[in-house]
Homo-oligomer: A and B are copies of this chain.
Amino acid sequence: MSERPPRMDLEQLRTMLHIAPFHQWLGLDIAELTDEALILEMPWRDEIVSNPMIGSAHGGILSALIDLTGLYTINALGGSARATSDMRVDFHRPATSGPLRAIGRVVKLGKQISVAETRIEDAEGRLLASGRGAYVG
């Protein structure tokens, strides 16, 4: 995909990302956009905790990250994603501190449906969750 230039620059993407009140609440920002990946970053906030004994983030938060990162990845890397059609998430390890990094990559840019994969890592680069979404263009 290196010959396909990203459709949007970082500022456009950041503006779009911040339109969503939920993205603002999550404190999302764009860390990096390369020819192959879009990397978002999210700080910790105490309201996202699921299990207060170990202070781990709710799976729904990790799922939200995988959902939205894939959608922005498709749009940033030459495809068109208006909405998520469906999604799969695998949870690998509790997320207990921030910032969380979400690394999205294109699996397939399609006319009707595009697919992206996203990995969520902690600050030490450990894999916390991963998954893929199918997006309608």
User: CB within 8 Å of B: which residues of A?
Assistant: 19-23, 25, 46-52, 58-61, 63-65, 67-68, 83-92, 107-108, 110, 112-113, 115, 117, 127, 130-132, 134, 136
A85/B85 in contact, CB under 8 A: yes
Copy number in this complex?
Answer: 4
Q: State A48–B68 Cα separation when bound (angstroms).
A: 13
Residues from chain B with a CB closer than 8 A to the CB of A67 are 58-60, 63
Q: How far is the CB of A13 from the nearest CB of chain B, in Å?
A: 16
A25/B47 in contact, CB under 8 A: yes
Residues from chain B with a CB closer than 8 A to the CB of A89 are 63, 86-87, 89
A90/B115 in contact, CB under 8 A: yes
Given contacts A22-B47, A49-B22, A91-B84, contact A64 B68 (CB under 8 A): no
B130/A90 in contact, CB under 8 A: no
Q: Which of B49, B68, B110 contacts A20 (CB 8 A)?
A: B49
Residues from chain B with a CB closer than 8 A to the CB of A63 are 60, 63-64, 67, 87, 89
